[in-house]
Amino acid sequence: MIRILVVEDEKPISDLIRMSLQKSGYECACVYDGLAAADKLDQERFDLVLLDVMLPGVDGFALMDYIRPMDIPVIFLTAKNSVDDRVKGLKMGAEDYIVKPFEILELLARVEVVLRRYNKLDAMLHVGGLDIDTRSMTVSRDGADIPLTSKEYDLVLLFARNPGMALYRETIYERVWGGDYIPGSRTVDLHVQRMRKKVGWEDRLVAIPKVGYRLEA
């Protein structure tokens, strides 16, 4: 399982990130200052670090120097929105830089991109009775392959990686079709309805009125 270390001194933010990561199938540990993060990294293996810049004791930039030789990807989380700070973080070796406040779905998407870049994402997912092989892009149930179109497969993967989270139609369209959602369009609903029936998620993938859909965890 992918293990992520969250280094964030504001506990409510840390708890929200931890719960969201765990719902998406990641194992998560949290520390609240730079020295504790250094100790944790010495003691345990992690695949990714989410690192706040403004930390008590040792700040995120100083901690980045400590992490760099470990070859662990880092995403900075910070309220500092200046270009100089973003450039500094990226030049120090961070893979990404997210400014607070941020949408949790954006964070999850950026986490997924960085893990994919480092070939750390689990090749197999087991969600909602389905076996999803991301290498061959196939979906099966009880050993039987389920024929899906490319968009249907992308929808399955999107919901499988965000179980329990309400996904807006705009978000679904952007992540699967890669464009701007047109209000009133039935594209998302029609594809979701067909996909849901094919994979047997009629009762598990629920519609949320005026919002979108949620895969019950």
Q: Are residues 59 and 78 in the same domain?
A: yes
CATH of residue 103: 3.40.50.2300
Range of the domain at 144: 124-215
Q: What is the pLDDT of residue 120?
A: 77
Reading across the β-sheet that carries 144-145, which strands appear in turn? 124-127, 130-133, 138-141, 144-145
Alpha-helical (H) ranges within the chain are 11-23, 34-43, 60-67, 83-91, 104-117, 150-160, 169-177, 187-199
What total number of domains does the chain contain? Answer: 2
Question: Partners of 48 in the beta sheet?
Answer: 4
pLDDT tens string 63-89: 999 999 898 999 999 887 677 777 887
Q: Are 74 and 31 in contact (CB under 8 A)?
A: no
Q: Are residues 32 and 137 in the same domain?
A: no
pLDDT tens string 157-190: 999 988 888 899 998 998 889 878 888 889 999 9
Q: Long-range pairs for 80-89 at CB < 8 Å and ≥24 separation?
A: 80/53, 80/54, 85/53, 88/61, 89/53, 89/60, 89/61, 89/64
* Prediction pTM value: 0.68
pLDDT tens string 17-75: 998 888 777 889 999 999 999 999 999 999 999 999 889 888 899 999 999 989 899 99
CATH of residue 189: 1.10.10.10
